[in-house]
Structure 1
Amino acid sequence: MGRKLEGLQRMLVIINRLKGPQQYVPREELENYIAHRMEERDGSPVDLRTLQRDFNEIEELFGIRICFDKQRKGYFINEEDSLKQEQYDRLLLNFDLLNAIDRTSNLHTYVLAEHHRPMDYECLPLLIKAIRFSHPVAFNYIYIREGGKIREKKVLPHYLKEDQQRWYLLAYDNGTLKTFSANCIRNLRIINEETFRRNMDIDVEELFKDSYGIWNQTDIPVEEIELSYDALDGSFLRSVPLHHSQEILTDNEEEFRICLRLRITNDFVMALLARSRSLTVIKPMRLREWVKKVYEEALKRNA
């Protein structure tokens, strides 16, 4: 196993142990746990010096600070630096899977991984660093909807948000909070000689509560939406809701009917079309006409 891969696996083992129900983990207990888990992965023994180096790298890479409580004689994760549980679990799941696949084992014979590496991942480390240390960033931004027109931007980065396997930057552009697709950022550079005071009062959950995906166009009203499907499509929508506001109105052998409350954007309509085999838009009528128009134009093109 390569040193870099082994070190990453060891760091994830440490995080996984310290995020458990036991608040303080004694040094010997943590060392034994790491040694046992790394032995399963054909790793090397770990000493105190290696452990401390791992703690430093964990803080640098993940922003997770591991401390030692002398009174309780145990290690713990500083709650101020811990990630939200959903993000935490996703990070550990993704890295554990990737690490397992990278090992010289036969796991590839029963796990089929997607090998495509999206371009937008390349700028994430720099963006994370800029956000963490409150530095502005400058970049060239490609406006896809304007025929690929490029504009130079200088913004104050605040958050990274993932949606539909793509990453987006939330940043203040001339005093207005905007969303930038990481996939459209080019020539990114951190302006290290400048700093700004990060706005920690942004309610990110509230910001996207009424939107589908990343686009929260406040000039579009929030509307009540009612959709009808057959039982087969309903089985999928029951397990993977279209939106967090989804409520089930009817669920039987003939019909699966739901209501939602959100802004009707192009992204939302595209999501509806992705599972539209049995879709009937009950309301609002303008959404029904929108879907109808898309299909009429598609029929003309493919007649």
Structure 2
Amino acid sequence: MSDRKTVLRYFHVLNRLRKSPASFKEIDAYLNQQSEWQDENFQVSKRQFGRILKDIKSIFELDIDYDVSRDVYFIDEESESDITNRRLEALDTFQALKVGTDISKIIHFEQRHPQGSEYLMPLIQAIKKEVRVQFAYQKFWDNFLTTRMVEPYALKEFKNRWYLVAKDKKDDKIKTFGLDRLSNLILSNTKFAVPETFSVDKYFHHCFGIITPDEGEPEEIVICFPPHQGKYVKTMPLHGSQEVLTDDETELRIRLKIHRTYDFLLEILSHGDDIKVISPPELVLQVTDKYKNALNQYPNEKTN
């Protein structure tokens, strides 16, 4: 059996179980359907199915349990994690892009520049081995490259971009570097030790985006949205601290506990008139100043 067919069989078993618990008979029927659609043979015996479940647990770190009373298999939700879900999403995308050679007629891709994903694996290796890396880096506002030697701590994703969190040996400060602005990556043989006190989750715990203030405490921020926009905000929370205060036919009002960074200010402005800042007063002033400055860009335009 080919490796390709094996991986696809795992994919189809998981896809069926992600929809709902299913008996072996129902899973077998689903595999038969996929076999017909893709001109392959994905069907397995009950004995082979047991081995498949063990492989899925090993590869995806996902437990599939069996309920004797209902005679169904199901995914153990407690074994699911963000990493597991991202693996499955990546497999979904990979499989969707293999439906044929002329997929541009049925899939409309977002136009974007490369995001530096080719550096993910070598950086993960450097982080795990705790070795310094060197690379050339160009900030958006600079026209020149600088050579950086850093101690890589972690990787972070934000708005479809990847960032390296590392200590810059130039000044021994922890910084974030966009992978799309990085080139000529070299893994060195110089070892280092990540401080035991460092946790990437704690480092960004009260942050929106990649900006982490050097000082100051996070603030309670209250904002509201009209009901139609509120539905999006509930399904895609702005931040992990998001707490719903009001949710009715007039508004969705939420509270966040985060640092008031420029990243977050830009997020507020991106919602236009579908958002209103309630507190703190300093953020209200920041937003109104931005809107006033925007209006000043059109001094000759008349308003009704």
TM-score by length of 2: 0.69
SS at structure 1 position matched to 2:255: strand
Secondary structure of the 2:220 match is strand
- Structure 2 vs 1, CA of residues 290 and 149 (structure 1 numbering), >3 Å: closer, same or farther? farther
Residue pairs, 1:1-303, within 5 angstroms:
7=3, 10-11=6-7, 41-42=38-39, 77=58, 85-104=81-100, 111-114=107-110, 116=112, 118-145=114-141, 147-174=142-169, 175-191=172-188, 193-199=189-195, 202-303=198-299
Q: Provide structure 1 residue ranges, at least 5 long, that are not aligned to the other structure.
A: 1-5, 22-31, 46-67, 69-73
SS of structure 2 residue aligned to 1:206: helix
The Cα of 1:165 is off from its aligned counterpart by 0.5
Q: Deviations over 1:80-101 (max 9, x none)?
A: 9x99721222122223322332
* SS, match of residue 152 in structure 2: strand
Number of aligned residue pairs: give it: 259
Q: Distance in 2 between matches of 1:217 and 1:104?
A: 47
Length-normalised TM-score, structure 1: 0.70
Q: Using the TM superposition, name which of 88-97 and 180-189 deviates more.
A: 88-97
Question: Is the 2:11–2:91 Cα contact (8 Å) retained in structure 1?
Answer: no
Cα separation, partners in 2 of 1:17 and 1:245, compared to 1, 3 Å: same
The amino acid that maps onto 2:279 is K
Matched residue SS, 1:172:
strand
SS in 2 for 1:244: coil
- What is the aligned partner in structure 2 of residue 24 from structure 1? none
> Do the aligned partners of residues 115 and 8 (structure 1) sit closer, same or farther apart at CA in structure 2, a change above 3 Å counting?
farther
SS in 2 for 1:228: strand
Find the aligned partners of 1:270 and 1:224 in 2 and give their Cα distance: 18
Q: Once the 2 structures are TM-superposed, how far is the Cα of residue 301 of structure 1 from its aligned partner?
A: 1.4
| Deviations 1:23-76 (CA, angstroms, capped at 9, x unpaired) | xxxxxxxxx9xx98995755699xxxxxxxxxxxxxxxxxxxxxx9xxxxx655
Q: CA RMSD in A?
A: 3.8
- Indicate the percent of aligned positions where both proteins have the same amino acid: 27
CA distance in 2, matches of 1:220, 1:148: 32
Find the residue that maps to 2:237 and give its secondary structure: coil
Aligned residue number for residue 28 of structure 1: none
Q: Partners of 1:264 and 1:161 in 2: how far apart? A: 19
